[in-house]
Amino acid sequence: MRIFAFSIFFLAFLGCGRFTPKKIDLVIPDQIPFKFQLDFTELASIPNWDSLLVVKPYADPNFNELKGYDNLSSLTQSDIHILVLYVDHQRIVAYSLVPRILDLNQLWENSESSDKDYYRFPKEEAKFSFEKEESVYVLKTENT
């Protein structure tokens, strides 16, 4: 009976670690250059992820196809950060909270994409260029 109970405890312990995404803190320096690039492939301390999801502020996306999002839905309801999810084979393996001083709203500002709750970027394209405008750093895309 003890072996059975220990086995259940051990499997539950392993299962919790597998389904709880790791938080990856972004270190934003006090003195940010006028122009800079944020490369998530360099920041992520996890080896296995294939895409990055940038979630629109205040969105409540329907991620039925993803595993591991249950505990993160409250993180989209904030004025101080934007939720970024690292995904590996449809499973969220980690997340970061991007401070709103880095303005990612450019992703949603054109009329064709304003209704999207999130954007998915392949790992190879998880690089964003920013340029300072007044008190924030605005995302610079090829279209701007």
Q: What confidence tens digit (pLDDT) does each residue in 100-117 have? A: 888 887 777 764 666 788
> By C-alpha distance, which of 111, 116, 139 is closest to 60?
116
Q: Is the pLDDT of residue 31 over 60?
A: yes
Q: Is the pLDDT of residue 128 over 80?
A: yes
Predicted confidence band of residue 99 (pLDDT cuts 50, 70, 90): confident
Q: Using the structure block, give the residue that is written with the tokens 């920041």.
A: 43
Q: Is the pLDDT of residue 26 over 50?
A: yes
List the Cα angle 41/102/27 in 5-degree steps.
55
Predicted confidence band of residue 51 (pLDDT cuts 50, 70, 90): very high
12 Cβ partners below 8 Å, 6+ apart? none
* pLDDT, greater one: 117 or 16: 117
Predicted confidence band of residue 37 (pLDDT cuts 50, 70, 90): confident
Predicted confidence band of residue 1 (pLDDT cuts 50, 70, 90): low
